[in-house]
Chain A
Amino acid sequence: MPWRLLRFGLSKSHPEPRMFTAHDKLKPSYDVVIIGGGGHGLASAYYLGRDHGITNVAVLEKGYIGGGNTGRNTTIIRSNYLTPEGVKFYDKSVDLWKDLSEEFDLNLFYSTRGHFTLAHTDSAMRTMRWRAEVNKHYGISSEVVGPEEVKRQAPQIDLSCGGHAPIMGALYHAPGAVARHDAVAWGYGRGADQRGAEIHQQTAVTGIEVKGGKVVGVHTTKGFISTNKVICAVAGFTPRITDMVGIKTPIFVHPLQAMVSEPMKPWLDTILVSGSLHIYVSQSARGELVMGASLDPYEVQSTRSTLDFPEGLAAHLLDMFPFLSHAKVVRQWAGMADMTPDFAPIMGKTAIEGFYLDSGWGTWGFKATPVCGKTMAWTVANDTPHELITGFSLDRFRNYSLTGEKGAASVGH
């Protein structure tokens, strides 16, 4: 490696291949068009090529790849959800995550840290026991622990949380992990590109052509392309795309904000989450504390940040870790979360033939990236919903059969 680096440094032409092929023009037609070059869209393109041999695929990205919610989340990966549908689905995702670095030949910095969901009330403890039992039933490592275990793994914590929200216990999920989120988009993008899919950045979709209830093509800022299959994987932009084909959904968009502190020496090994204090925090490989809170309280379809957010979050963080009073915040940002009424995603086929949704990913989409790509690719290749996503169809609302996923992040319950 040092020789390679030295050669690279001394070379005049810098002979390092680009991660992706840059395509000048769109082809007149594709077998599958994927709207959205985030983790989910690129993973779908990757598995379409790898598992199903479908390589005449275009991924259309309005901005740059991984620039949306893939690069705006707090990178937490876990599977300790509450519904059987959710638990099975996210557990499959954690399985896939573990092999990705090797599969991509790209270091995702996948780091298993252990994940505590803190309980400050009796009712929260009851929910934790419930979640632990559902998780254990499906073979997932998940248990209720006392405050002493929290203190053992995070010795700096004030267990009384400033005296007004004492920690009574926690749900501990040992496989909880963090990963470098940009690398996930790059890894899937490069893999899809190598298998023949085309990634078109700076290409926005302006309309979708539907004839006789079937998709026939997509209008873009770089011209019209004909296709019979479209996957919509655009998170907070979903309502704008579904409006193009006249599909109504329960999706509503609220910003979800996050921030990081200045880098510091490693002191926090584990991931800590508190629903009552509206906080989740972990320390990144760079030493920054990565922190998030709850959804913004009202609808906004943009990625603006507010001052209220770091003020509120900092106050709660100081309840847990008073010694951080001199730590500085260096960045904050927002993503558009496409929320659903039951906190479960909306995936699979729709009333329009050839229009597939991968949406409703609200505050819980990053950890699902691999399994979404795999199941969406299967669903599109077979034109039948994959068994892991049958509980997530859009029809469930019309039939009043909701999935009720209360294990979701950033949601008070």
Chain B
Amino acid sequence: MKLMTCPINGSRPVSEFVYWGEIRPMPDAATCSDDEWADYVFNRNGAPGVKKEWWCHTPSNTWFIAERDTEKDKVLRTYLHGEDE
């Protein structure tokens, strides 16, 4: 069983978590061009690397950030938004 550390609840089975994708800055919808908006909506960084991702511990609904190596599937650290950036 793979474990993940929730910043609030500690080490829990990974099945208790949902993955919400890499953190991506959203352009201002009112001022950006159609191409910029399409790029934000659809395009992804699909190559492997250490990525900052949104995850949620579902039983407690805790949203947090995980830094994860997506090739080795290894979580390097987890923290709440705003606590360490």
Contacts and interface: CB of A to CB of B under 8 A. Distances in A.
B48 A301 contact: yes
Contact of A298 (B19, B35, B44): B19
Nearest to B48: A301
Interface in B48-85: 48, 51, 53, 70-73
B11 interface: no
Contact of B38 (A239, A253, A302, A398): A398
Interface string A299-337: 111101011100000000000000000000000000000
B25 interface: no
7 contacts: A249-B44, A252-B21, A299-B19, A299-B21, A300-B73, A302-B72, A399-B38
Contacts of B70: 299-301
Contact of B47 (A240, A307, A400): A240
Contacts of B43: 248-250, 397
Interface of B: 1-2, 14-15, 18-19, 21-22, 35, 38-39, 42-48, 51, 53, 70-73
Given A297-B18, A306-B2, A239 B45 contact: yes
Nearest to B66: A298
Indicate the size class of the contact surface on chain A: 20 to 34
B46 A249 contact: yes
B46 A338 contact: yes
B44 A252 contact: yes
Contact of B42 (A250, A253, A298, A300): A250
A146 B2 CA distance: 41
B interface: dominant SS = mixed
B19 A302 contact: no
Contacts of B39: 248, 398
B71 A301 contact: yes
Nearest to A300: B73
B1 A252 contact: no
A301 B72 CA distance: 8
Nearest to B37: A400
Contacts of A299: 19, 21-22, 51, 53, 70
Given A298-B19, A300-B73, A250 B44 contact: yes
B38 A307 contact: no
A93 interface: no
Contacts of B44: 249-252
A334 to B, nearest CB: 11
Nearest to A244: B47
B46 A307 contact: no
The 5 A-B residue pairs with the shortest CB-CB distance, nearest first, are A239-B46, A298-B19, A301-B48, A250-B42, A397-B42
B47 A304 contact: no
Contact of A252 (B18, B46, B72, B73): B46
A251 B43 CA distance: 7
A272 to B, nearest CB: 26
A239 B18 contact: no
A116 B36 CA distance: 43
B76 to A, nearest CB: 15
